[in-house]
Structures are given as structure tokens and as C-alpha cells.
Amino acid sequence: MSLLPRRSKWKYYLMWLVIHTIGAMPLNWRYAISRFASDRIYDWRRSIRDNVRSNMRHVLGPGATEEEIDRLGRACARNTGRYYADIVGLLGMDTKTFYERELDMRGLEYIREAQSRGQGVVLASAHYANPEFAAQALAGIGLHVFALVEPLHPPELDRLMRGLRIKHGHRYEPVSFRAIKEAMTWLRNGGILCILIDRDIQKRGIELELCGANAKFPTGAADLALRTNSILLPGWVYRTDGFKIRADIGPPMELIRSGNHDEDVRVNSQRLLDLFEIALRKDPGQWSVLEKIWPD
């Protein structure tokens, strides 16, 4: 998820500057700046605009008007901008205050129950609103997560973003074979793993259906839950009034186990996407994905 051109070292310098300037501003200022920047990028970067509009056509279906597609496409760009406005302020975030005043989290008892049994939790979400902000808030009540995230380029930017994300005690690792092995150990020790299901960042996904059309999606959430006997908790995050966020966690998705691991991964991954589709169709403009998901 990026509003910037790929693989440019200047991204690191720009992000460092933003963190130490805009990141210190109040959240309403950051959101105002992000809205202005997102609108300009949506207007001027045709590739981003075309990608988002393509996604919206699939979500809305053939009856959608061009005006509706454009309105929700712009909303997606603005929501991505708000995501970055949230992230650059992590250094000054008070996770306990945010959890108590700005976050409405429902379903926390499912995590607590699994932990009481010593069972791992795979918390599966999507690039919808800002699941990362909700996960950061868990530190305010003493819960720390292991998150598998997209590797960023250049490496300096990756290290900078990781430093922000681990500020409050969480563990973030770019997706790799080593990181997946460590995630499995984390789960077997009763930890919480956060993973997203709606972008095939490693290009190793399989064809699944979302909004009536096939595209390639990752299967890590179902795969890791099956391999480690962890509970699989779908969790979707919504922006509500003002700066508040609501997170709906669970209930646990009962995993289908037929004895054929590959088929079980496929079936359970499809079931997860079906649940996400329900949330996505309620408010497509909160989907912060700027890459084309479906082939035209």
C-alpha cells in the first residue's frame, strides 16, 4: 500500500522528514494534510486512479455509475492517506488512552479465552480502514502481537517503518521464510499473530473469489492456523465518527480439516474472503488498496 513511486531512496528521506514534522502535529491537522495530498495524488497519478477505479468496479458491480466509482475511488485514496497520517504519529501515540477513548473493540474475549488455554491466535484482517492502529492499541492493555508485513524498499525505509511499528512492544517482521518459521513458533507458544488476507504481496497466492471474480490472494492466515492448531479470528476495522475506530473481532472461524492440507488451506482461505466481502461491500471507500487486485 503506497502512494509513492517504488524503490526510490528518497522515500526514506521523505518519510523521515514527515515523521519528525507532520508526525508531531495533532491528528486533525495530520488528517487535513493527508486529505489534500491524497486528492492531488489521485488526480495526478493516473496509474493509481485507474487501479482504484478498477477495484471499485468489481466491488460495486456492473450497475455502478462512473460518478459512484470515482467518488469511492477517491475515498480509498483518502483512507490510505489517513493510514499514513496515523502511522507517522506512532512515536507520540499513547496506546492506553487510545484504547480507552478512541477505540471500540468488540470480541476481545475470544483472544482472552484462547490465551487462557495457551492456544495461539491468528488474527486475520484486511487493508480496510486501519487494522494496524487497532493492533497498536492492544499494547495499552498488555497484549503484544507478531505481525507479518510487506517488505519495503529501500531497506532504510523498511528499518524506519519497523522502528515506528515496534515502538510500543509489538513485533513486526517482513514476510520471508525465516519470519514465517518464527511466526509458527510464536503461535505454538500461545502468541497472537496479525496477518492480512487481501493483497498477494509475495506473488505466491492462489486463485480465490472476491466480489464475484477470481484473483490471486494469500493463504497464510489459514495455513498458519492449520499448521499450529491456533484459532482463526477474522477481524475487521472501521473508521466511525471523528477519529474513532471500531474493531469487530471474531467469532472464531471453525476450520475445515479434511486431511488434505492444500485443499483445507484453499477452502478456509475462501471462507475468510467471503467474510471480508461482507464488510467490504458495506463501505468500499474504506478499502486502502491502491494496487489493482483483479486482472481486467
1 belongs to a structural domain: no
DSSP state of 243: T
95 belongs to a structural domain: yes
Q: Does the pTM exceed 0.85?
A: yes
Report whether pLDDT(2) > 70.
no
pLDDT attached to residue 8: 63
Report whether pLDDT(5) > 80.
no
Strand partners of residue 209: 214
Cα dihedral across residues 41, 43, 45, 49: positive or negative: positive
54, 261 contact by CB (below 8 A): no
The parent domain of residue 162 ranges over: 10-286
Q: Average pLDDT, whole number, for the chain?
A: 93
5 belongs to a structural domain: no
* pLDDT grade for 296, boundaries at 50, 70 and 90: confident
291 belongs to a structural domain: no
Looking at the chain, the whole-number percentage of residues with pLDDT higher than 70 is: 97
Question: Distance between CA 90 and CA 147 in Å, rounded?
Answer: 16
296 belongs to a structural domain: no
Q: At what angle do helices 27-44 and 66-87 cross, to 10 degrees?
A: 140
pLDDT attached to residue 11: 87
Lowest mean pLDDT among 160-164, 185-189, 207-211: 160-164
Report whether pLDDT(16) > 50.
yes
3 belongs to a structural domain: no
198 belongs to a structural domain: yes
In this structure, which long-range contacts are made by residues 198-204, counting pairs with CB atoms below 8 Å and at least 24 apart in sequence?
Answer: 198/126, 198/127, 198/128, 198/273, 198/276, 198/287, 198/289, 198/293, 199/1, 199/127, 199/150, 199/289, 199/291, 199/293, 201/150, 201/151, 201/175, 202/175
51 belongs to a structural domain: yes
Number of domains in the chain: 1
* pLDDT grade for 4, boundaries at 50, 70 and 90: very low
Task: Give the SS3 label for residue 239.
Answer: strand
Report whether pLDDT(234) > 70.
yes
